């Protein structure tokens, strides 16, 4: 990935950068480049100053210990407690009656918890955990729907000093089992069922399948969410409500060391043994607290909605720990954007006067496909800031989001980061940064990122390369759980002393960063490197295309041939003429080398319940391999339909 490529696929049609609106800039938390200047002058001093925003039991003795790379330590010998920073200090500082969590269920039921009430619930569950034998250092697995009890369980673990391992509620029993076994969890918190598009996923029954082979689990706590029949195993299983009914509302937070483990979070969508990414206490909290405050321009009156699931790092960092440590009001929703209708998200924004909305490009492209009539049917004037997370956003989706959801007045913070980084790494600051649709713009203050070639040398503008982080940052993973060798090999061997992200990227002439996607999603076509995201962006740029997923088929001459799976906008006929038109369109936008060899029209693309397109399954279909586990998909039948149609073709 070292060849020079001066063309910018967006340059011909790219408008002038979008400047922060005048009224937004005047009221923004950050109005100028002062944080960048401070961080460039003294990065450790910058992070030390940000750490002062938190409540410490004992202050650190050293900001960063980098004596044993890649095993870095932050805020050495500092003592604090995460739940105390998310709850107690707000209650003590006049925010006791402020709404911490506003929750609405799929069926329209709702719950509001103030900071005082959330602290009481967390303290009660701490006493429950302690009564069930959980103590400091034990691992607790949380397999839950998107309900407030999941947040209570997470915060209770941090308060007692236990390590939580949250598993995405849509994962299969086998995936749950693998994560329990790897983390040696002592207790499982789950639910009787989860509401999903009018149906109930029988979580307790599925958990039983996993627990047959999980001898480390001693106790199971069950939240009764979906009125689903289930059995309690005597002596092992307990109802949440029974345990919480008489639990004490007081529990003193444990004094935790800065480098004590906070949580394990397993990477998804990989084959083989799952990667248990380990984050520790102080550095992680400093990172997510600071980035949430700066990137989302935190204001006391905000109603903040991140649509991620609690089981992903985005849910950890920007539903729970970042917002709550800043005293935000967090909105949580249990269901999907298209049930009971495709206006569901806009209905909720109007109802709760949401001010900050953070979602994924996949969702935005679905909104585009459904049509503008759904957002236009609701008052979205409460929105002041939009965000994007999870994958690169194509310029067309960015512009649609800006126009139809933000009404051309809301800045969009397009963010890049990973489970491993813990915190947002590349992002605009909304009151400062001119925005280019499709670009994550610049590194966050205090983050040293670059694009390098195969030799580790910085690339020039227009030259594709590998995104790397050149110095430690507070919220970085500390290792892979009980697998230090894999940690070193995966992230630190490619370029010694530099963190290898695994993503391809390039810089434009203004120094703005453009993410191309995973390196393994960069195709070698006749000696040319073509990013799948680049081809996908060209396809969705066409007026008839709603979504596209591009994969590379092994080709004995070219190396890879390009295959595209395309979902068309409603009412568009996927005929041979359009197929040829799309191929020509890609050739015109990128070049003949990127012209897809085959395009397959499909009604839906295979996605996980979090909205991530499973390109691996499309590759297996195209190369006629056996499909792996599809239970994590939103609709496993989509894969079967694509496979049948592709085979017939």
pTM given for the model? 0.86
Q: Are residues 570 and 475 in the same domain?
A: no
Rounded average pLDDT over 111-134: 98
Q: Are residues 340 and 271 in the same domain?
A: yes
Q: Are residues 488 and 531 in the same domain?
A: no
Q: Would 566 be classed as within a structural domain?
A: yes
Q: The domain spanning residue 614 has which CATH number?
A: 3.30.300.30
Q: Are residues 488 and 534 in the same domain?
A: no
Rounded average pLDDT over 18-23: 96
Percent of the chain with pLDDT over 90: 78
The structure tokens listed for 130 are 């302690």
Q: Is the pLDDT of residue 283 over 90?
A: yes
Which residue, 465, 470, 468, is CA-closest to 504?
465
Average pLDDT over the chain, rounded to an integer: 91
Residue 554 binned pLDDT confidence (cut-offs 50, 70, 90): confident
CA angle 393, 399, 400 (to 5 degrees): 95
Q: Are residues 294 and 398 in the same domain?
A: yes
Residue 47, class by beta-carbon neighbours within 10 Å (0-12 exposed, 13-18 middle, 19+ buried)? Answer: buried
Q: Are residues 46 and 91 in the same domain?
A: yes
Residue 628 binned pLDDT confidence (cut-offs 50, 70, 90): low
Residue whose pair of structure tokens reads 């759980």 in the numeric block = 481
Q: Is the pLDDT of residue 366 over 60?
A: yes
Q: Would 172 be classed as within a structural domain?
A: no
Domain count, the chain: 2
Give 393's DSSP letter. Answer: P
CA angle 305, 468, 284 (to 5 degrees): 45
Q: Would 551 be classed as within a structural domain?
A: yes
Give 342's DSSP letter. Answer: T
Q: Are residues 304 and 346 in the same domain?
A: yes
Q: Would 314 be classed as within a structural domain?
A: yes
Distance CA 483, CA 278 (A): 10
Q: What's the pLDDT score for residue 601?
A: 94
Rounded average pLDDT over 447-458: 96
Q: Are residues 474 and 543 in the same domain?
A: no
Percent of the chain with pLDDT over 70: 93
Q: Would 601 be classed as within a structural domain?
A: yes
> Which residues, in sequence order, are CB contacts of 38 under 8 Å at separation 6+?
45, 46, 49, 445
Q: The domain spanning residue 404 has which CATH number?
A: 3.40.50.12780
Q: Would 404 be classed as within a structural domain?
A: yes
- For residue range 247-256, what is the model confidence (pLDDT) as tens digits? 999 999 999 9
Cα of 138 vs its chain's centroid, Å: 26
Selected residue with higher pLDDT from 14 and 539: 539
Q: Are residues 367 and 301 in the same domain?
A: yes
Q: Are residues 445 and 566 in the same domain?
A: no
Residue 14 binned pLDDT confidence (cut-offs 50, 70, 90): low
Q: Is the pLDDT of residue 561 over 70?
A: yes
Sign of the C-alpha dihedral computed for residues 592, 593, 594 and 600 taken in this order:
positive
Instruction: Check if the beta carbon of residue 539 is closer than 8 Å to that of residue 582.
Output: yes
Q: Would 187 be classed as within a structural domain?
A: no
Q: What's the pLDDT score for residue 555?
A: 76
User: Could you list the residue range(s) of the whole structural domain that residue 69 is in?
Assistant: 22-138+148-163+250-451+467-496
Q: Would 177 be classed as within a structural domain?
A: no
Q: Are residues 481 and 530 in the same domain?
A: no
The structure tokens listed for 318 are 């920007």
Q: Is the pLDDT of residue 83 over 60?
A: yes
- For residue range 471-518, what is the model confidence (pLDDT) as tens digits? 999 999 999 999 999 999 999 999 999 999 999 999 999 999 999 887
Q: Are residues 488 and 533 in the same domain?
A: no
């Amino acid at each position: 990935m070292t060849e020079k490529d001066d063309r910018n696929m967006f340059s011909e049609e790219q408008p002038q950068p979008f400047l922060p609106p005048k009224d937004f800039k005047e009221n923004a938390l950050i109005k100028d480049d002062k944080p960048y200047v401070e961080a460039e002058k003294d990065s450790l001093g910058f992070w030390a100053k940000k750490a002062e925003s938190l409540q410490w039991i004992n202050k650190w003795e050293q900001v960063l210990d980098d004596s044993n790379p890649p095993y870095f330590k932050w805020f050495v010998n500092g003592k604090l407690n995460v739940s105390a920073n998310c709850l107690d200090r707000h209650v003590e500082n006049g925010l006791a009656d402020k709404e911490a969590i506003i929750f609405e269920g799929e069926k329209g039921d709702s719950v509001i918890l103030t900071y005082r009430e959330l602290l009481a619930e967390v303290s009660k569950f701490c006493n429950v955990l302690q009564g069930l034998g959980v103590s400091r250092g034990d691992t607790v697995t949380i397999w839950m729907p998107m309900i407030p009890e999941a947040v209570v369980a997470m915060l209770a673990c941090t308060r007692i000093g236990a390590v939580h391992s949250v598993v995405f509620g849509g994962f299969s029993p086998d995936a749950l089992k693998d994560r329990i076994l790897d983390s040696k969890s002592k207790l499982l918190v789950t639910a009787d069922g989860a509401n999903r598009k009018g149906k109930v996923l029988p979580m307790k029954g599925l958990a039983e399948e996993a627990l047959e082979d999980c001898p480390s689990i001693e106790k199971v706590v069950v939240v009764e969410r979906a009125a689903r029949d289930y059995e309690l195993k005597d002596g092992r299983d307990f109802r949440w409500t029974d345990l919480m009914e008489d639990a004490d509302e007081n529990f003193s937070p444990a004094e935790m060391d800065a480098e004590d483990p906070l949580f394990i979070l397993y990477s998804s969508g990989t084959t083989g043994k799952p990667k248990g990414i380990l984050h520790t206490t102080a550095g992680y909290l400093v990172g997510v607290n600071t980035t949430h405050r700066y990137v989302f321009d935190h204001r006391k009156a905000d109603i903040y909605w991140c649509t991620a699931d609690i089981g992903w790092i985005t849910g950890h960092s920007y539903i729970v720990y970042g917002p709550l440590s800043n005293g935000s009001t967090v909105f949580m929703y249990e269901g999907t954007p298209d049930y009971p209708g495709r206006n569901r998200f806009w209905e909720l924004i109007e109802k709760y006067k949401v001010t900050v909305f953070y979602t994924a490009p996949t969702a935005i492209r679905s909104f585009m496909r459904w049509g503008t009539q759904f957002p236009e049917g609701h008052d979205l004037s409460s929105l002041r800031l939009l965000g994007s997370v999870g994958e690169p956003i194509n310029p067309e989706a960015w512009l649609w989001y800006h126009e139809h959801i933000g009404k051309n007045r809301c800045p969009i913070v397009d963010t890049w980061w990973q489970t491993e980084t813990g915190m947002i790494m590349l992002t605009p600051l909304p009151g400062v940064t001119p925005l280019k649709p499709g670009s994550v713009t610049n590194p966050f203050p205090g983050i040293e990122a670059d694009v390098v070639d195969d030799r580790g040398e910085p690339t020039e503008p227009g030259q594709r390369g590998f995104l790397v982080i050149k110095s430690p940052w507070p919220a970085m993973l500390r290792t892979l759980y009980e697998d230090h060798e894999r940690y070193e090999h995966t992230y630190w061997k490619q370029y010694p002393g530099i963190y290898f992200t695994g993503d391809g990227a390039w810089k434009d002439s203004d120094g703005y960063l453009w993410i191309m996607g995973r390196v393994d999603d960069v195709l070698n076509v006749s000696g040319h490197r073509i990013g799948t995201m680049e081809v996908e962006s060209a396809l969705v740029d066409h007026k008839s295309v709603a979504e596209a997923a591009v994969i590379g088929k092994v080709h004995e001459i070219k190396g890879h041939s390009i295959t595209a799976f395309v979902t068309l906008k409603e009412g568009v006929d996927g005929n041979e003429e359009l197929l040829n038109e799309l191929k020509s369109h890609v050739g015109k936008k990128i070049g003949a080398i990127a012209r897809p060899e085959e395009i397959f029209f499909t009604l839906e693309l295979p996605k996980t319940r979090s909205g991530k397109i499973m390109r691996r399954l499309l590759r297996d279909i195209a190369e006629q391999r056996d499909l792996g586990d599809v239970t994590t998909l939103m609709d496993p039948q989509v894969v079967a339909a694509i496979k049948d149609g592709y085979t017939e073709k």
